[in-house]
Structure 1
């Protein structure tokens, strides 16, 4: 019987979209090769990838992109999924909602017109964040410090990763008042394998 090749997660040298599948692998003790590309490397391999985007997940010679799809696949393998279809629907719904908020943040962050960026950031902080975070905090309260299914799932990991991005834009003092969401983040970061990864991973801004 041939031995399986170590899976690979390929991305740039920052957390970004690859950190969710990385954390899920670390939680489930799935050994993987953490490939971090510079721009020159990426320019070389980009034409060979399925859609010219990262991250990529490679397993036994098969390659897929899309970080959420990769993370969902890995979550099933390591027990971070729901017990039934409804729980999985709850998890997916929260994951997609968190992604919606992250994309709104990213759009502002990438705006090149500084005047428009400042105006958009003000709307993000004063309107968008409160709208989403108040509702997500209520969900976390109903699930006892988790984002769905009243237990640890990959939705918690997704929020814990995004928390840092949200705090960077809105300010830690804004995020800290959402006590149940802070609990979600703390629950994830207190897991031994995650704590170890956070100490060992390359230090990057995002």
Structure 2
């Protein structure tokens, strides 16, 4: 077998191995900060979650601490979020393409679930003190059932400094995908699609 044939066989295998290792890149220093300035304790401190303490929003609200908010997370492969769910609110179906999520329920009760690549739904009702893992890239949600009279509060840790979030309702209905494409995909009509879009715009 000639070298060119061996190369043609090995190249796809090497590409698959490289893809399988996907995640935040390793860094070769203790930490990475934006250029131009010395590091201090302030460089590693984020105070943006102070607004979460004592917050009482009327809608589902996420308070994030990612690389965008705290540049010192660059290369550390971690980020964080605090989530507040008033009764009857939902964190709609979404994915995090670059990270798994470990959710810790601090207060209240939440119905959670994720769907695997075989379209099987894994669900659980969490109570305060419970932890649930959402595997990387899989569709998932959290819901504080309307029957619950109290808010739910959770903390989420992510295995990436920039996990990314793709909200399915927003990605499908609040983008520029043409109505006929959506109508055909959901086996409905353009009028129904327009109603869904209108409902999500409020």
Structures share a fold, TM > 0.5?
no
Query: TM-score by structure 2 length?
Result: 0.22
Q: Which has the higher strand share?
A: 2
Query: TM-score by structure 1 length?
Result: 0.22
